[in-house]
Amino acid sequence: MKTAVIVTTYNRPDALAAVLAGYLAQSVQSFELLVADDGSTDTTRKAVDDFRSRAPFPVHHVWHEDRGFRAAAIRNRALAATHADYIVFSDGDCVPAADFVARHQRLAERGWFVAGNRVLLNQSFTQRALAAALPLHRYGTLDWLAAWCKRDVNRLLPLLRLGDGDWRHAAPQRWEGVKTCNLAAWRDDLARINGLDEAYAGWGLEDSDLVIRLTHAGVKHKSGRFATPVFHLWHAENDRSRLAGNRRRLDAILQSDRVRAESGLDQYA
């Protein structure tokens, strides 16, 4: 099974550096990494080029022009640029634990997508971690316990590790709370639904739409909790001025049985 990790970023090279350091330290190196760049400046390009020269796995920089928040479009472009069998989506502000890719590979199962969760870092801890290049991906239980005691992180429960089992299939239709900062799916399932829907304008709900259409296509939700946490660096809230329109579009999807994105992956074929 060939695996690709797609990491979305936009003009935050310090956070991206912390994320890439996490992938460099993965317990398995049998994957390719695509940085899906939503229009960043050359500073990000240079950071990716430098990382590529050090990485033991293939690294690709997929970029498009900055025309506002277009995460769905750049993820589709990155998806079109890989022929991997299995796709792991994450973000350029989500540091992976050292076993993140290995755990996702272990949980991969035909007919299912896997949704993990995250630990949120607060603003001051994020600033300290980036300034000092703290190896968050190597933090152990005591490190995170100390961070939680100082209220630097919001919770510890996602750090528990549990194996695979029937309980992971307990909510096969669940889409609420699933985010593309920690989501894995088979590439052929993503192609069948035409990838993400670029009709969503601005921030919000394009990932929910993706998951709902996967369930419409018969692909079920498998829990990646207690296996694949990411450490989400703090950032200011995105512009939500177009969220109401996106919500109306999502409500329409929920009332339908539509599978394919209106504006999706096929335009990059």
Position 257, amino acid: D
Domain with residue 132: its CATH number is: 3.90.550.10
Instruction: Kindly report, residue by residue over 106-117, the tens digit of the pLDDT.
Output: 999 999 999 999
Mean pLDDT within 67-79: 96
* Cα–Cα dist 158/115, whole Å: 12
CA neighbours closer than 13 Å in the CB half-sphere of residue 201: 6
**Entry pTM:** 0.97
The chain-wide mean pLDDT, for the chain, equals 96
* Cα–Cα dist 101/113, whole Å: 14
Position 170, amino acid: A
Please check the confidence at residue 150 and state whether its pLDDT lies above 90: yes
Please check the confidence at residue 257 and state whether its pLDDT lies above 80: yes
Place of tokens 């589709």: 76
Mean pLDDT within 199-205: 87
Helix axes 243-254, 206-216, angle to 10 degrees: 10
For residue 97, what is the DSSP state? Answer: P
Number of domains in the chain: 1
The range of the structural domain enclosing residue 76 comes to 3-268
